[in-house]
Structure 1
Amino acid sequence: MQTMDGTPCGSAPSELMQFLYDFVEAEKQANLAQLLQVWAQPLAGKLAKGWTQGFTRLERGPCGDEIWAYTDQSESRFRINDLLLLHSGQADQERLCGQLKFVAEEDGRWLLKGKFASLLWELYHSGPCYADPDGIDLSDYYLRALDEINTSPRGRQRILPLLVTEPAINFITQDIKDGEAFAKAHGCNDRQAEAVGMALGAEHIACIQGPPGTGKTRALALIAERLVARGERVLMTSHTHMAINNALNKIAARGVPTVKVAGSREGLAANVSYVEDLANWEDLPVDGGYVVGATPFATCSRLEAYSFDTVIFDEASQITLPLALMAMRKGNCYIFIGDQKQLPPVMLSRSVLADDSLSIFSRLTSQRAEHTVMLDQTYRMNQWLTDWPSRMYYKQRLMAAGSNQQRQLQLRDVPERFAEIFDPQASVVFIPTGDRTAKTRNPVDAQWVCDICQAAHASGLPLAQIGIVTPYRAQGRAIQQLLIKQFGRESAKQVVADTVERMQGQERELIILSMASGDEVFIGAVAEFLFQPERLNVSITRAMTKLIIIGPHLRAEPVHAREEVQAWFAQYQSLVDHARLVRLTP
């Protein structure tokens, strides 16, 4: 591991803690610098790039902390749950209201919500205004958690040894056996049963690596069910509310007492309780176990007074060490479920090429093997889609299984132009980009994506079974506008079209990866982002039977100063060679 300036960092707890304190401060400064840079840019440029959304007028919302904002003709990159800063034209000088959450969208207007919303009307009276990205400084939560880890018996004696020394990793043999038998009785394969048994038998820690489609959420739900059955209080946490809600839905479906604390009800099943404060949960079991879903930040506020027997982390590969420690201080046993070959944590103060010591899951799985099990059968991808990621990322251990193993996409009456693309014998298709000058937005490729969707739908594929992945929000917006024009707004919503980060955990019969970039000079400049293996892995493993990649056909492998990135070019070319080459003309 290294310190923030790149010097070696030892393994002593004090050195690790100083490293984490430095990281929290660096992230704080990097977030602030990024916001200030955006705010200071000229309005016209921000509107053109999608950094700013224009509004024709504002109105009072249904509640005192809500605002209706009527959009103008500009197209921004904002999405539901983003934080916004309203201003009159200059974000750094003419602020109207900050920290407004984008909570809903109707035709022509957005619903914004925030604790300072009622103060807006003292400054705003009528006319147009604008929204820039905003943020919240969460460093106090991190520092409070790190202080507790650094000084408490639990932190010094239980948690830090897992990260910096070689503690004995113990399991209770009978609990392992009982857990495996329980999992087998519920239809789990051998490796899933091993994972459930290990998690239930762990005295301190267990790590489950779940490659795409291997049933990690199913294993998670079984683990939670058995923990609650033996009377444990379980904290189910992750880095996003979406991941938490998905896990809670699976757990509650097994009849487990389950509650979500704070965040939003959106995406939660009806049998999952929702409260702003755990003390308000009317169905809280007095003597038995239960599952509480919340982000780690809730342990510094709404759950500060509560403790848990076990903390389960889902999508653990995207959780940083400081964020994990925030939740770990509230439990005695820790179960991490994720995949270090998928998206890593988002960190502004460090390069994507930085070592993986700040990802809790990568750190734990790279240090020790006896507390880790990898699920190795994917029930999502057919065998042809599984082959390349298995060889490239999982040492050929990932295998296609179940009813989808040999299934291929079968469409009827496919137009001649797309006959080769939709040939059932070609599960992976590569189409060279139609614009070799494109950077983050490629109208030619966007139109091809729309045309392919229309052809697939006309040939019998429901729109809801089509997913579109792109690295850039600008390309995503371009595709979405074409889909709306082709199918209408409501029907177009059935097609999931989003960036890689928002697609992790999802699956569709047909996935189209639109890489957009064609300019090879630009590609060389953004290679660390565009060809990052974890991003590529997530992008291509959403498909069940057909993957169509529209991207750059590199005439020569670019030369990059980083050896890691140089290897990524070769990996991308290997994927292109694995696919069937089909050329379309603009």
Structure 2
Amino acid sequence: MRREVRLQRQATEEIWRTPLAERVAKGHALGPLRVVSVSGKRLILQPADDSAAMAECSLREGDFVCLSQDAPHAPTGHFIHGGEDHAGIHLHLWKGEVPSAGEGWVIDPDFYDLSPRFAEAIEALAMTADGRDRILPLLMGDTSGSIDPDVYEDAMDELESADSVAPKWHDSQEEAIACCVAALDAHLVQGPPGTGKTRVLVEVARRLIERGERVLVTGPTHRAIHHALEGIRRELPATVRVAKIGVAPFSPVTFECHEDYTESGLLESDAPHVVGATPHALWSRFAGLHEARFDSVLLDEASQLTPLLAAMAMMRGEHWLFFGDDCQLPPVVLGDDATPPRLRSVFGRLKGRGFDTLLEETWRLNEPLAEWPSATFYYGRLTCRHDRRLVFHTPPAHSLLAADPAACLAVLPGDGCATVRADEEAQLAVDLVREAVRCGLDPERIGVITPFRVQAARVRQLLGIDSLSGLRQRVAVDTVERYQGQERDLIIITTAAADPRFIRLRADFLFQGERWNVAMTRARLKTIVISSEGFVETAESLAEEPHAGASCFVSLIDHLRHHAC
């Protein structure tokens, strides 16, 4: 914990020392900006000029940021990033002042020392009976989860009886729901893309509320928590309270929002209710959650939660239900250690010990798209609930847009010196987008994925000069990290890099299996991978050494080539 906090501080201060133009160019900062709206602690800013800085910045919803006139060491105020929309960049003040007007404002990443909260949680793990006797043994692999067999049988009977009238759940979903409601301590639900993980979470929450429980929903990001709360709110009677504690979303929501748990009146309530909060908020003196106790804790996106963050939430409840997929992106950790990426998450540490359920049927991917991820990551157990193909009103002129194969590869000669940007690949991606739109596909059903923000910026720039109105705004172009959880009918992937030396230096990043699993499972109907000869050849060379990530990527290339024949 101390090493990670120290590295976060050093990384933030290094960014602050960088000139503004360089910070913006690298996607570390936003500016110059002008204030367009102020309402209490909330602020909206827009770029002072028509640059693409907003789209390329790595700052995202839920991040700590500071606002200054290019003086991040001495900011006017400290804020929570509330996301971006057509109105601009939303910020929520938590310390300092809100500027009333003006231009020349810059948003930089902020460093907030969370080590006191971490240290308090670590001490509680050692000093409390729950921490010492239940949570630590589970996290360290000394104990496993168990279920009440009578509760499990009752839940299965009810689910199967309901399905006999109007089928709603498939077998693995029924198994997951029954195991969760019968868990005496912990259970894991692994949800590959499109398998209904959130639906299962919502159903579990509904059943826990029905038996009178107080339920906590947490996760690595505000967005994940908001998404889960919205689903739960839809399924519960209006008389059951569902509330977010902490920073409220900027867009309208159906659940309650309170900055302080004690002011919500829920702390003293014996009635069943649902509360959403981040692990940090649970240990914050400002959120009023220090005394809160819950019957069950639902940890969503648990494959992006470190064991320490998970433990901070687990200390607040009696039962712990984990929802995630350790075959997708792991937590971001700055410390350079030998821990495999999957084992950096609480989900990866707990999985495979006899108290987890794999959801096996996907409603997103068609069969050809599911074949490679199923064989590579999900033991060949992933099956499909549809077999639709990408069909246009007008037959496309480009062969890559044909309905079959559903996953295909285009290898370009490319610029052998290309690193984070490849113009030829970007142009082909844009040409494919234009042709797909011309043939009748809604731009909002198209996505472009790339490892690098610079390549994403180039694609957006080319889309922006298109004669089709609003194409740049309607086609989602982003990095793999920001695409997790999203889906589109057509996905185009551009790898950009072609320089073998650069590729070798970034091999762990570029060929990470979990990243390719995310990228290849965003499409409902068709995926097109655009790469360079240099990228593919370097991967094949690395795979022979061997390099695990490169071997995984080569297996994908072999799969795409096989189905192209």
TM (norm. structure 2) is 0.88
Residues 1:322 and 2:308 aligned together: yes
| Cα displacement (A) at 1:36 | 1.9
Residues 543, 550 of structure 2: 8 Å contact kept: no
CA–CA distance in 2 between the matches of 1:41 and 1:354? 32
Aligned to 1:29: 6
Residues 53, 75 of structure 1: 8 Å contact kept: no
Aligned to 1:100: 79
Which of 459, 465, 482 is the aligned partner of 2:445? 465
| Cα displacement (A) at 1:171 | 1.5
Residues 1:288 and 2:265 aligned together: no
CA–CA distance in 2 between the matches of 1:480 and 1:581? 32
Residues 1:172 and 2:148 aligned together: yes
The RMSD of aligned alpha carbons is 3.0
Aligned to 1:382: 366
Which of 266, 271, 275 is the aligned partner of 2:258? 275
Q: Which amino acid aligns with 1:262?
A: G
SS at match of 2:430: helix
Residues 82, 250 of structure 2: 8 Å contact kept: no
Aligned to 1:71: 48
| Cα displacement (A) at 1:558 | 5.9
SS at match of 1:309: strand
Which of 215, 219, 222 is the aligned partner of 2:203? 222
Aligned to 1:14: none
Aligned to 2:484: 504
Which of 313, 318, 324 is the aligned partner of 1:332? 318
Residues 61, 111 of structure 1: 8 Å contact kept: no
Aligned to 2:410: 431
| Cα displacement (A) at 1:441 | 2.1
Aligned to 1:45: 22
Residues 191, 323 of structure 2: 8 Å contact kept: yes
CA–CA distance in 2 between the matches of 1:88 and 1:329? 41
| Cα displacement (A) at 1:350 | 2.8
Aligned to 1:9: none
Measured at CA, do residues 361 and 230 of structure 1 come closer, stay the same or move farther in structure 2, by a change above 3 Å? same
SS at match of 2:150: helix
Measured at CA, do residues 143 and 283 of structure 1 come closer, stay the same or move farther in structure 2, by a change above 3 Å? closer
CA–CA distance in 2 between the matches of 1:218 and 1:108? 31
CA–CA distance in 1 between the matches of 2:65 and 2:544? 36
Aligned to 1:11: none
Residues 1:260 and 2:244 aligned together: yes
| Cα displacement (A) at 1:490 | 5.0
Residues 139, 307 of structure 2: 8 Å contact kept: no
Which of 572-581 and 300-309 deviates more? 572-581
CA–CA distance in 2 between the matches of 1:107 and 1:495? 15
Which of 140, 160, 171 is the aligned partner of 2:136? 160
CA–CA distance in 1 between the matches of 2:338 and 2:513? 11
CA–CA distance in 1 between the matches of 2:83 and 2:378? 39
SS at match of 2:401: coil
| Cα displacement (A) at 1:286 | 4.5
Residues 392, 441 of structure 2: 8 Å contact kept: yes
Q: Which amino acid aligns with 1:555?
A: E
Residues 117, 283 of structure 2: 8 Å contact kept: yes
Q: Which amino acid aligns with 2:275?
A: V
Residues 68, 105 of structure 2: 8 Å contact kept: yes
Give unmatched runs, 5+ long, in structure 1: 1-23
CA–CA distance in 1 between the matches of 2:362 and 2:338? 28
Residues 511, 549 of structure 2: 8 Å contact kept: yes
| Per-residue deviation, residues 410-430 of structure 1 (Å, max 9, x unmatched) | 1132342x1x11111210011
| Per-residue deviation, residues 290-324 of structure 1 (Å, max 9, x unmatched) | 21111111211322121000001111111001100
SS at match of 1:486: coil
Which of 118, 123, 126 is the aligned partner of 1:150? 126
CA–CA distance in 1 between the matches of 2:430 and 2:210? 49
CA–CA distance in 1 between the matches of 2:179 and 2:488? 31
| Per-residue deviation, residues 506-557 of structure 1 (Å, max 9, x unmatched) | 2111111122212222111111111101111011101111001112332354
Q: Which amino acid aligns with 1:300?
A: W
Aligned to 1:364: 350
Residues 54, 73 of structure 1: 8 Å contact kept: no
CA–CA distance in 1 between the matches of 2:60 and 2:538? 40
Measured at CA, do residues 181 and 448 of structure 1 come closer, stay the same or move farther in structure 2, by a change above 3 Å? farther
Identical amino acids, percent of aligned pairs? 34
Q: How many residues align?
A: 546
Residues 192, 219 of structure 1: 8 Å contact kept: yes
| Per-residue deviation, residues 226-282 of structure 1 (Å, max 9, x unmatched) | 111000111011101111111112222212532222222346642x22222334447
Aligned to 1:534: 514
Aligned to 1:237: 218
CA–CA distance in 1 between the matches of 2:75 and 2:332? 29
Which of 291, 297, 301 is the aligned partner of 1:305? 291
CA–CA distance in 2 between the matches of 1:160 and 1:203? 16
CA–CA distance in 1 between the matches of 2:263 and 2:411? 56
Residues 1:514 and 2:494 aligned together: yes
Measured at CA, do residues 344 and 56 of structure 1 come closer, stay the same or move farther in structure 2, by a change above 3 Å? closer
CA–CA distance in 2 between the matches of 1:247 and 1:352? 33
| Cα displacement (A) at 1:193 | 0.6
CA–CA distance in 2 between the matches of 1:234 and 1:49? 41
Q: Which amino acid aligns with 1:229?
A: E
Q: Which amino acid aligns with 1:425?
A: D
Measured at CA, do residues 119 and 456 of structure 1 come closer, stay the same or move farther in structure 2, by a change above 3 Å? closer
Which of 185, 191, 213 is the aligned partner of 1:210? 191
SS at match of 2:424: helix
Aligned to 1:10: none
Residues 1:572 and 2:560 aligned together: no
Which of 555, 570, 579 is the aligned partner of 2:537? 555
SS at match of 1:234: strand
CA–CA distance in 1 between the matches of 2:342 and 2:140? 15
TM (norm. structure 1) is 0.85
SS at match of 1:242: helix
Which of 193-202 and 44-53 deviates more? 44-53
1:443-482 alignment, distance < 5 Å: 443-482=423-462
Residues 341, 534 of structure 1: 8 Å contact kept: yes
Residues 480, 497 of structure 1: 8 Å contact kept: yes
Measured at CA, do residues 67 and 142 of structure 1 come closer, stay the same or move farther in structure 2, by a change above 3 Å? same
Q: Which amino acid aligns with 1:464?
A: E
CA–CA distance in 2 between the matches of 1:562 and 1:156? 46
| Per-residue deviation, residues 348-401 of structure 1 (Å, max 9, x unmatched) | 1135864644311111114x12x111111111100000101111111211111x
Give unmatched runs, 5+ long, in structure 2: none
Which of 304-313 and 170-179 deviates more? 170-179
